[in-house]
């Protein structure tokens, strides 16, 4: 029974990447190397504690550098960069027509 309960509180690297909206597990591996998140020891395949995951996500309410919040902000930046480049081209086109 204890193993079943423990399994429910652990996420695989792939599941965690999906939860945090990453396209690959490389970011999770990087976070692990940087000490942002720790693997549960003595398990052959990488598993992460739901308690730690929730703690990291909760930090996002105070710290914009939590993984989930960081990814959300990166997505916003990507969209704004595309929009900015679009308008720069439009303005340049208008400027050339005036000249």
Give the per-residue pLDDT at 25: 93
Render pLDDT for 10-66 as a digit per residue (tens, 0 to 9). 999 999 999 988 889 999 998 888 888 899 988 899 999 998 888 888 765 545 566
- Residue listed under structure tokens 């914009």: 64
Is the distance from CB of 53 to CB of 9 less than 8 angstroms? no
Distance in Å from the first CA to the final CA of the chain: 77
Q: Among candidates 37, 99, 34, which has minimal Cα distance to 68? A: 37
Q: How many structural domains are present in the chain?
A: 1
Give the per-residue pLDDT at 68: 72
Structural domain including 37 reads 2-98
Q: What is the DSSP code string of 64-94?
A: TTSHHHHHHHHHHHHHHHHHHHHHHHHHHHH
């Amino acid at each position: 029974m204890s193993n079943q309960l423990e399994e429910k509180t652990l996420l695989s690297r792939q599941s965690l990447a999906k939860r945090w909206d990453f396209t690959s597990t490389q970011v999770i591996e990087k976070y692990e190397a940087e000490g942002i998140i720790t693997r549960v020891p003595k398990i052959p395949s990488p598993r992460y504690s739901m308690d730690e995951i929730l703690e990291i996500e909760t930090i996002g309410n105070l710290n914009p550098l939590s993984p989930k919040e960081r990814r959300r902000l990166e997505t916003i930046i990507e969209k704004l960069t595309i929009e900015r480049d679009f308008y720069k081209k439009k303005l340049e086109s208008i400027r050339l027509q005036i000249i």
